[in-house]
Structure 1
Amino acid sequence: MKLNKTYLALAMSAILISGCSSTEEEGSLTDAAQGTDASTSGYSDGSMSGSQIGSGNGYNTGSGYGSGSGANLGPEFSDPNNPLSKQTIYFELDSSQVKQEFVPVVAAHAQYLASHPNQHVILSGHADERGSSEYNIALGEQRAKSVERMMRSQGVTAGQLEIVSYGEEKPAVSGGGESAWQMNRRVEVGYQ
């Protein structure tokens, strides 16, 4: 965790020194860096009913995590109608705010983790290829921290969560263009 803080400090210093010009393509990390990203907007007091959590969103993880990772997870992780089968949360360009459609997915994982205190996950943040490496590392970390905050607010302990940021280094989809970039702006929930 100390290493991630060091990377964040270095990334933020590099951004400040370089002037961090804001363009439509690269955007600005201002909200994410200041932590003003609500990341929990849209789920009121944090309590959700089973019917709110139970609907799928059509996204598949394709991340290699979950039931195939040796984590001995239950059948709910392979049921496409269960939000636990979705282990990838996608983000808008230059944003670390969890999109409304993924709030139930994060809530389902939080509920599972809270009821399984021995379970541990790695929240890995990613960004598309636009922006500098330092910027993308910082943005990936802010995305992972947004998911972490949501989970912590729903009873998941700090010891169950680990954050890592890969920035643009591990794309889910190769190539350029919006269709590839939107798949690369993500946080993967990896059960250990």
Structure 2
Amino acid sequence: MKITTYKYSAIALISSVLLAGCSSVATMPSDNITTGSVDDSSIRGSSIGTDSRVSRVFYFEFDKVVLNAEARSALRLHAQNLQSNRINIRLLGHADERGSREYNMALGESRGNAVRDFLIQEGVNRSLIEVVSYGEEQAAVSGSEEGSWALNRRVELK
């Protein structure tokens, strides 16, 4: 009887330690984080021939990578133009300041990939598209409130 009690206590203890470990967030000292940079001098302005009234910035909900109907509509127009003109583009993924640096880099990349995948699905040649993530590093606006965060959760088509 005593052995069974110890066994169940040990299982409960191990389970709680494992669950506690899963719920914690590992952080790295900021001096161990390295980020790269991309020479974006070649993408200032845009050579995309789509009507300038068609959005080139696509916004996302918090912690999401799903394109809304407005973004899909604009991207269809861009896809038609890219199919006929074969222009190389960059998709610059961004996130707001919430979350770790690594998480936001991955989220920016996932958002860029969502746009890329949509364009490919619409017939754009994959070799014309490059995805770059800036994570939280190049905020469109500064501020720590929902209005600012919403403008920073984006993918820019350049």
Q: How big is the shift at 1:171?
A: 0.4
Specify the code of the residue in structure 2 equivalent to 1:176.
Answer: S
CA 1:147–1:182: 2 relative to 1, 3 Å: same
Query: What is the deviation of 1:104?
Result: 0.4
Residues 99 and 21 of structure 1: CA distance in aligned 2, closer, same or farther (over 3 Å): farther
What's the offset of the Cα at 1:87?
0.5
Q: Which amino acid aligns with 1:77?
A: D
Aligned residues: 122
- The SS at the match of 1:182 is helix
2:51 to 77, 83, 86: 77
**The structure with more radius of gyration:** 2
Alignment TM-score, normalising by the size of structure 2: 0.70
The alignment-based identity, stated in percent, is 42
1:184 has 2:147 as partner: no
Runs of 4+ in 1 over 3 A off after TM superposition: 18-22
Q: What is the aligned counterpart of 2:130 among 156, 162, 166?
A: 162
Q: Provide the residue aligned with 2:18 in structure 1.
A: none
SS at match of 1:69: coil
Matched, 1:93 2:62: yes
Equivalent in the alignment of 1:124: 92
SS at match of 2:133: strand
1:107 to 55, 58, 76: 76
Distance of aligned partners of 1:70 and 1:155 in 2 relative to their CA distance in 1, 3 Å threshold: closer
1:170, 1:155 → 2: CA distance? 30
CA distance in 1, matches of 2:77, 2:136: 27
Structure 1 counterpart SS, 2:124 = coil
What is the Cα deviation at residue 69 of structure 1?
1.9
Distance of 1:105 and 1:182 partners within structure 2: 19
In structure 2, stretches of 5+ residues that fail to align are: 1-20, 26-41
Inter-CA distance 91–20: structure 2 relative to 1 (3 Å threshold): farther
Between structures 1 and 2, the one with greater helix share: 2
Distance in 2 of aligned mates of 1:160 and 1:187: 16
Aligned to 1:6: none
- 1:114 is paired with a residue of what secondary structure? helix
Q: Which residue of 2 aligns with 1:137?
A: 105
